[in-house]
Structure 1
Amino acid sequence: TKQLWSAQISNAHDKIQYESVCQPFRAVGTSGKDKHKIALAFETGPKLTIEDFNARLPKKYAINKIYKSELTKKQAQELYPEWYQRIVVEKGERGHWNRHEGIYHNWIEKCYQGTEVNHRYYCLENLCSLAVQCQIAPEQVEKDVRELAEYFETLTNKDDNHFTEYDIACAMRTYEEPTESAYRRRIEFISEKTNIPLQRTKRNGRKQEVHLKRIRAMQEFDDEDNGTNWRDGNGRKPK
């Protein structure tokens, strides 16, 4: 991506836009944001494999860590019988952890404070991803998305780059039709796409056991003060 957005190719080389391989694009023959321009596509060669891509990349960027279990199905059944029954035999879905609602609202604040023009879509799409993880009600998501989209439109600095209903609809698809990627995202991926810096939570040198005891004590103090129970609505849901 960085090579394609170099100064020799693009005049926006200082504001690189990263696109997901799952990012939808306009159908060939339809108009774009500029109604006088038609979307075109060109066949330039055969399909490329991972090996083909690696041959064109510097070695440090090569894709060489594709995880694949070395266990046979029989070994997996013996080691993880409950998982095997639920996923392999019953064709069940992979389980997910739910996150605290505060993470969702915190991201909204980050969007108001740090969103840039060329990263607006991914900021909104990530909000929809967090809405899935935090189990936010549809009415609340719709309200927050609309309000944030209105703010994003105020950042528009070119007539051909408005934040449109199409952008909103594409972002909302993550919430309305959640896939595995809506639940599992690395903060490095989010930061790269949104250009909003994120850092992992640190234990400040404490061992995990000590750190967790401290967190639980803080949670119990907050519960006593607020009359709440932090466990309500959190954790993995039973099947």
Structure 2
Amino acid sequence: MDHGTDAKGNKLVKRVMHRYTVHDDLDELEHLRDVSISQNTFMFLAPVSYYGKSRNSKNARFLHAIMIDLDYVGTRQLVNLLHEMERGVIPYANYLVSSGTGLHVVYKLDRPVPLMTRYVTGLQVLKRELTDRVWNANTSDSDPDKKQSQGIFQGFRMVGTATKLNGDIGNPKYKQPYAVECFSHDETPPATIPYLLSFIPRLRDKEEMDGLDALSALTKEVRKTTPIAEAKERWPEWYEKHVVNDDPLGGWLYGRAAYDRVLSVIREHVSVSHRYWCIFYLAVMANKCGVPQDELEDDAYGLLERFDALSVEPDNRFTANDVAAALEAYEGGLASGRARRYTQDFCERKAAVEYGEKMGHGSNPPEKRLPKDLSLKKARYERDLKQEMNGTTWW
């Protein structure tokens, strides 16, 4: 889809994604692999099975593997990765997939995990903690503080298909395209949830539990929700509107300053591996702050040249297509759609930036702040002291 041209006269194109349904017989995979190579186009596949025709989290049925994406892996990093597996520092992987410039570390699960609400959040936490464990200064040449952490529904380049080393769609740099290759370790048994939990220090208290019970307990720790029966009693108007009448949840608009702050932060603190997520974060904030789509696109495409200049490798360009893909998080704006559900913590973790970095607020991180009750107690004491000194009372 044509989106005009950039400052250099290059055409801005929104890439159109096609989705295919692969059945249990997997016959379609052979055809898709051939299409990918012949057309030099990328193809992604998630380790998730679905029911229905739509690939979304609501239709997700089972998770079959946990896959971790490692960037900037050279010979030394690969040796270190295998060494850490041998020494028991990180769990043994069943497969290592070379995706071009990165490596996918695949942990095949002994039993597919049903993607019910009670397990999904626990799986997300487990994958994030595993990523922090596997991606370290020894296994990747990038800054460990700038690592990427994807969700469990994330798709990865399909084995046997073209990689980005071959250039953009329809413009291959090589006559024999590089293909994604997979290497298996047949002696490694499929991973169990308790086995993976045993490598995460703060989650080891759950390694003796059944896998699904551990995930359920972890989900309850993270998601502090109110049972629907209790919500009906506490907020009857909300219950009538959103449960009985099924009205969509509304949202509120943040001040414009929040969007400007994020724009400033990502401009100054973006890193190579997180350029997409920085634009994604900007689109989410535009949605929450009521910024018009035209203005968002002007700001996002205005960052294109700056973001692209961060890398010098010809196979690691940041293009207008990447910007267009990230801008899909805007979803119409005005605090609507899924964008309003993306939290600040989620966006900052993905983009590897902090909201307060630009203005110096990062010098007082949450872990160093007073607890809320003590902070309020301090504020009330200062208030009362000032009233006593002035000989006044205002309450």
TM above 0.5, yes or no, is yes
* SS at 1:161 equivalent: coil
Alignment partner, residue 245 of structure 2: 90
Give the root-mean-square deviation of aligned CA atoms: 3.5
TM-aligned CA distance change 1:192 to 1:69, over 3 Å: closer
Alignment partner, residue 179 of structure 2: 38
d(CA) in 2 for partners of 1:69 and 1:195?
28
TM-aligned CA distance change 1:10 to 1:126, over 3 Å: same
Q: Which amino acid aligns with 1:59?
A: R
Higher gyration radius (CA):
2
- Counterpart pick for 1:170 among 314, 325, 336: 325
1:193 is aligned to 2:193: no
Identity value in percent: 26
Comparing 79-88 and 184-193, the one that deviates more: 184-193
The question of whether the paired residues in 2 share the 8 Å contact of 1:188 and 1:198 is answered with no
The correspondence of residues 72-111 of structure 1 with structure 2, limited to 5 A, is: 72-73=228-229, 75-111=230-266
- The unaligned stretches of length 5 or more in structure 1 are 211-239
Comparing 149-158 and 191-200, the one that deviates more: 191-200
TM-aligned CA distance change 1:29 to 1:96, over 3 Å: farther
Q: Which amino acid aligns with 1:37?
A: Y
> What is the total number of aligned residue pairs between the two structures?
205
* Cα deviation, residue 6, structure 1: 2.4
The correspondence of residues 57-206 of structure 1 with structure 2, limited to 5 A, is: 57-59=200-202, 63=218, 65-67=221-223, 69=225, 71-73=227-229, 75-176=230-331, 179-180=337-338, 182-199=339-356, 206=379
Comparing 194-203 and 16-25, the one that deviates more: 194-203
The question of whether the paired residues in 2 share the 8 Å contact of 1:119 and 1:194 is answered with yes
d(CA) in 2 for partners of 1:122 and 1:43?
31
The two structures have a TM-score, normalised by structure 2, of 0.44
Post-superposition CA distance 1:141-169 (Å, at most 9, x none): 11111111222112123222111233213
TM-aligned CA distance change 1:142 to 1:53, over 3 Å: same
Alignment partner, residue 139 of structure 2: 9
Post-superposition CA distance 1:194-221 (Å, at most 9, x none): 23233479999645xx8xxxxxxxxxxx
TM-aligned CA distance change 1:151 to 1:7, over 3 Å: closer
d(CA) in 1 for partners of 2:295 and 2:285?
13
* Cα deviation, residue 94, structure 1: 2.0
Structure number with higher strand proportion: 2
Post-superposition CA distance 1:4-52 (Å, at most 9, x none): 1124432335454223315554456543321223346799987976x66
TM-aligned CA distance change 1:56 to 1:15, over 3 Å: closer
Comparing 167-176 and 125-134, the one that deviates more: 167-176
d(CA) in 2 for partners of 1:66 and 1:54?
16
TM-aligned CA distance change 1:34 to 1:194, over 3 Å: same
d(CA) in 2 for partners of 1:13 and 1:185?
25
The two structures have a TM-score, normalised by structure 1, of 0.68
RCO comparison, higher one (Cα < 8 Å, 6+): 1
The question of whether the paired residues in 2 share the 8 Å contact of 1:117 and 1:152 is answered with yes
Comparing 188-197 and 110-119, the one that deviates more: 188-197
- The unaligned stretches of length 5 or more in structure 2 are 1-130, 167-176, 207-217, 370-374, 384-395
